[in-house]
């Protein structure tokens, strides 16, 4: 198993909001009052049932309560455990799932301020993504502008399944703000559950919801490319978080084939989607859906035709691997080095300010 | 896949293609619904068609939700000289396609067959008529052609009746559905269809498109025709996932699924993903006894059009080995615009036996026609 060399940058870990009470100090009076008055429940998404196997690795799971709520454990298990130099926190509290856009805006502000005070202020190795309310792209852009001055926020966070495919022009104010501040858009597995999680309706099992994320990332990438997001925002990078990555080359082959046949429909896409992906799309390494042999993994890596697209992640505290087996067999030492350090630094310009 | 096509004579192609081939995805159309389909449709449904038309779960009375890249999504040279839509003249199809590409077996997959209609009784009547029409206008006219039993699949009982009606009839080589069902295909409402297919020894082909009503992406409706087309691959993945995770292949071991016109290179990454997730969630899936990749290896076939075209053929070769060469079936999609030309297919270098099976033998084996 390739070892993670000291100093790696972990691009996806998940500090969790323990409960809404922890957020109350970060709301204004009106919203604090609303939340208490109305008895608003915890915004825990059905994407990660609290006790489901993949939600918390057995040895990272506390006796009671949610995994990922304890800074000391995160330090020991995630940061010291992999000797990471920096780690990017993606808070998955279900802000994007709310139907009320001003409530979502209030929650996003509270989660971000909570993140800064409870995690970033206390642990210098941590960085974070800005949680936004995609329900209203104008509010979302305002939240990006509010926090962009804090250089510890290195990315904007969205969920892969929202009300509309993410390439739609409705979302462009978000991309404009992100590009303006040099922030990649991190697109994480998960859904606002406005639509069934498969194109053929709701599945029966949680396992299917998890598996369906990969198809959602595929259609989302199709949308971002065909709508012309990368033509309009040439500096923008998107990072696919907890997406799997093995599907990317074959999806680009198919999109590329139809692009050759149908480019008159989307004239702003002036080169092969694989070329666009190499410049603009990054993917985190866990979870990894790879073939069983190291030789096949090596062949799969060649299908990317690039050693710059993959970023190291543990996905802490989610259960994607055991022990320190954070990288798949079949990676060359040079590629492992790129994945663990060089590629994250190239993707997130703000990380360079501190290393 | 291009608007430009080469028109050849049979002499040209016998030199370039040489191999006899199976084309596992050919789309026949009636010249006239009134003249060709109505004779097999009860009066009541003829009148229904005149009054309400074919109401699908999509916006327009005539024409697709996403306008195509060209008229009828067809090759411009595929219009029969005597008139009618592309794919509507058995004699012209024989000369224009079957002869010149040396097609020994052509599998007919009718698309406007009543599948996915909101009204399932009408769907059943229309499918039945289209199935009769495949014999009268196609398989009885050209022995190279074989039909597909179109199923009104949103109603399992009506579908089972249609399968039983056609079981054992050598005019048909498979049963036929569209991918975008109204619920994931592994769910119980569809199970009687699978039992009936297995009992009749008919593989079940599941073709791109369909009218299930859910948005074609899990983030809502996309903007472009290209997204609609590329998205068939994601719908196909959802379909395979559902069949495996609901335990359909465990329950109906005789079921053979043919994924048609939805690509193939996505299958290995899907299998690896399902294996990982199955391993972690076995307590949720006690009915799935084996790793998903094993069910996929045993039960899924794929037609190859539109053929994947990575820059390096070695990448495609990896992919085809991961799928298994014996599971790939060549198809052209005649008369549609994204036709794959067998003489120009960028097939990775393989030995002659593998190549022959890819173009013909796999299909003969699957359909029991050796």
- Domain boundaries defined on chain A: 9-353
Complex ipTM value: 0.97
Helix (H) / strand (E) containing B149:
strand B145-150
Q: Where do the H-state alpha helices sit in chain A? A: 20-23, 29-38, 71-74, 81-82, 101-115, 137-147, 172-180, 206-227, 229-232, 248-262, 273-280, 294-303, 333-337, 343-347
Q: Residue B193: its pLDDT value, please?
A: 98
User: Going by C-beta distance under 8 Å and a sequence separation of 6 or more, which residues neighbour residue A242?
Assistant: A12, A188, A189, A213, A284, A286, A287, A313, A315, A318
**Can you list the domains of chain B with their CATH numbers?**
10-366 (3.20.20.140)
Specify the higher pLDDT residue, B19 or B165: B165
pLDDT tens-place string over residues A2-16? 778 899 999 999 999
Q: Residue A237: its pLDDT value, please?
A: 98
Tell me the nearest-neighbour CA distance from A338 into chain B, angstroms.
22
- Give yes or no for residue B309 having a pLDDT over 70: yes
B5 and A CB contact within 8 Å: no
Q: Do B227 and A216 touch (CB under 8 A)?
A: no
Query: Average of pLDDT values for B157-181?
Result: 98
Q: Do A195 and B245 touch (CB under 8 A)?
A: no
Tell me the nearest-neighbour CA distance from B370 into chain A, angstroms.
33
For residue A296, the cross-strand partners are: none
Q: Residue B19: its pLDDT value, please?
A: 86
Residue A223 has its nearest CB partner, among B181, B227, B265, at B227
Touching B: A residues 35-64, CB under 8 Å: 52-54
B233 and A CB contact within 8 Å: yes
B234 and A CB contact within 8 Å: yes
- Give yes or no for residue B275 having a pLDDT over 50: yes
Neighbours of A76 (CB within 10 A): 11
- Give yes or no for residue B16 having a pLDDT over 60: no
- Give yes or no for residue B172 having a pLDDT over 60: yes
Roughly how many angstroms between the first and final C-alpha of chain A, as a whole number? Answer: 27
Q: Give the global pTM.
A: 0.96
In which order are the strands placed within the sheet that holds A238-241? A9-13, A86-89, A126-131, A153-161, A185-191, A238-241, A281-284, A310-311
Residue of B nearest to A196 (CA): B218
Q: By C-alpha distance, which of A347, A345, A343, A308 is closest to A184?
A: A347
Residue of B nearest to A288 (CA): B273
A246 and B CB contact within 8 Å: yes
Residue A227 has its nearest CB partner, among B182, B223, B319, at B223
Tokens of B140: 């009885």
Percent of chain A with pLDDT over 90: 98
DSSP B307: P
Report in angstroms the alpha-carbon separations of B119 from B60, B114, B206, B217. 16, 9, 20, 24
pLDDT tens-place string over residues B123-137? 999 999 999 999 999
Chain A hits for B1, CB-CB cut-off 8 Å, are 257-258, 260-261
DSSP B349: P
DSSP A349: G
SS3 content of chain B, % helix, strand, coil (to 5): 45, 10, 45
CB B345 within 8 A of CB B17: no
- Give yes or no for residue B2 having a pLDDT over 50: no
Q: Residue A354: its pLDDT value, please?
A: 74
Touching B: A residues 263-292, CB under 8 Å: 264-266, 274, 287-292
Q: By C-alpha distance, which of B337, B5, B269, B344 is closest to A253?
A: B269
Chain B hits for A264, CB-CB cut-off 8 Å, are 69
- Give yes or no for residue A25 having a pLDDT over 70: yes
User: CATH fold of A9-353, please?
Assistant: TIM Barrel (3.20.20)
For residue B149, the cross-strand partners are: B175
Q: Do A264 and B69 touch (CB under 8 A)?
A: yes
Tell me the nearest-neighbour CA distance from B288 into chain A, angstroms.
12
B242 and A CB contact within 8 Å: yes
Tell me the nearest-neighbour CA distance from B4 into chain A, angstroms.
10
Query: Average of pLDDT values for A31-54?
Result: 96
- Find the helix packing angle between B267-280 and B292-299, rounded to 10°: 140
B324 and A CB contact within 8 Å: no
């Amino acid at each position: 198993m390739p070892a993670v060399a000291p100093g790696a940058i972990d691009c996806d870990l998940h500090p969790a909001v323990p409960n809404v009470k922890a957020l109350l100090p970060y709301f204004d009076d009106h919203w604090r009052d609303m939340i208490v008055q109305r008895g608003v429940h915890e915004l825990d998404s059905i994407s990660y049932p609290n006790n489901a196997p993949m939600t918390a690795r057995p040895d990272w799971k506390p006796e009671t309560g949610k995994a990922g709520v304890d800074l000391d454990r995160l330090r020991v298990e995630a940061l010291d455990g992999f000797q990471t130099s920096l780690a990017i926190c993606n808070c998955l509290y279900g802000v994007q799932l709310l139907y009320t856009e001003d409530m979502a805006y209030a929650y996003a502000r509270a989660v971000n301020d909570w993140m800064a005070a409870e995690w970033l202020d206390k642990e210098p190795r941590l960085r974070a993504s800005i949680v936004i309310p995609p329900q209203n792209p104008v509010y979302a852009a305002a939240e990006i502008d509010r926090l962009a001055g804090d250089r510890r926020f290195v990315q904007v966070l969205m969920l892969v399944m929202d009300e509309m495919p993410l390439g739609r022009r409705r979302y462009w104010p978000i991309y404009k703000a992100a590009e303006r501040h040099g922030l990649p858009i991190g697109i994480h597995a998960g859904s606002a559950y406005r639509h069934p999680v498969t194109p053929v309706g709701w599945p029966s099992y949680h396992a299917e919801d998890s598996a369906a994320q990969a198809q959602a990332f595929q259609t989302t990438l199709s949308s971002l490319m065909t709508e012309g997001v990368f033509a309009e925002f040439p500096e923008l990078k998107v990072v696919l978080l907890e997406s799997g990555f093995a599907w990317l080359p074959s999806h680009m082959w198919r999109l590329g084939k139809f692009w050759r046949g149908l480019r008159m429909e989307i004239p702003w896409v002036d080169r092969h989607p694989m070329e666009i992906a190499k410049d603009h799309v990054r993917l985190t390494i866990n979870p990894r859906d790879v073939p069983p042999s190291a030789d096949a993994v090596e062949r799969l890596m060649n299908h990317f035709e690039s050693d710059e697209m993959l970023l190291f992640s543990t996905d802490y505290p989610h259960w994607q691997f055991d022990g320190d087996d954070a990288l798949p067999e079949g990676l060359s030492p040079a590629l492992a080095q790129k994945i663990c350090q060089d590629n994250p630094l190239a993707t997130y310009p703000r990380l360079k300010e501190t290393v | 896949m291009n608007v430009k096509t080469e028109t050849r004579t049979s002499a040209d192609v016998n030199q370039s293609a040489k191999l006899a081939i199976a084309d596992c995805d050919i789309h026949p159309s009636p010249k006239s619904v009134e003249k060709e389909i109505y004779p097999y449709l009860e009066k009541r449904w003829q009148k229904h068609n005149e009054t309400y038309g074919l109401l699908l779960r999509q916006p327009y009375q005539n024409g697709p939700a996403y306008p195509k890249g060209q008229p009828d999504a067809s090759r411009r040279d595929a219009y029969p000289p005597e008139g009618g839509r592309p794919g509507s003249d058995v004699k012209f199809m024989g000369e224009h396609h079957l002869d010149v590409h040396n097609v020994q077996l052509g599998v007919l997959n009718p698309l406007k067959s009543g599948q996915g209609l909101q009204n399932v009784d009408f769907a059943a009547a229309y499918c039945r008529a289209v199935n009769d029409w495949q014999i009268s206008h196609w398989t009885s006219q050209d022995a190279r052609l074989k039909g597909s039993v179109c199923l009104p699949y949103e109603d399992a009982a009506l579908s089972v009746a249609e399968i039983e009606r056609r079981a054992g009839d050598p005019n048909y080589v498979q049963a036929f559905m569209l991918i975008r069902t109204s619920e994931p295909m592994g769910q119980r409402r569809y199970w009687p269809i699978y039992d009936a297919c297995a009992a009749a020894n008919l593989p079940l082909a599941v073709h791109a498109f369909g009218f299930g009503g859910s948005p074609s992406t899990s983030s809502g409706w996309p903007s472009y025709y290209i997204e609609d087309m590329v998205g068939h691959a994601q719908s196909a993945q959802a379909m395979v996932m559902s069949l495996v995770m609901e335990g359909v292949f465990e329950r109906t071991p005789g079921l053979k699924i043919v994924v048609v016109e939805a690509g193939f290179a996505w299958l290995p990454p899907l299998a690896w993903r399902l294996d990982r997730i199955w391993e972690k969630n076995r307590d949720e899936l006690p009915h799935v006894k084996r790793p998903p990749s094993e069910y996929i290896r045993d039960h899924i076939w794929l037609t190859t059009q539109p053929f994947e075209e990575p820059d390096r053929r070695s990448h495609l070769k990896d992919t085809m080995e991961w799928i298994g060469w014996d599971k790939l079936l060549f198809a052209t999609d005649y008369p549609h615009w994204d036709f794959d030309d067998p003489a120009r297919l960028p097939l990775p270098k393989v030995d002659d036996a593998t190549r022959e099976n890819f173009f013909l033998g796999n299909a003969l084996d699957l359909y029991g026609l050796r």
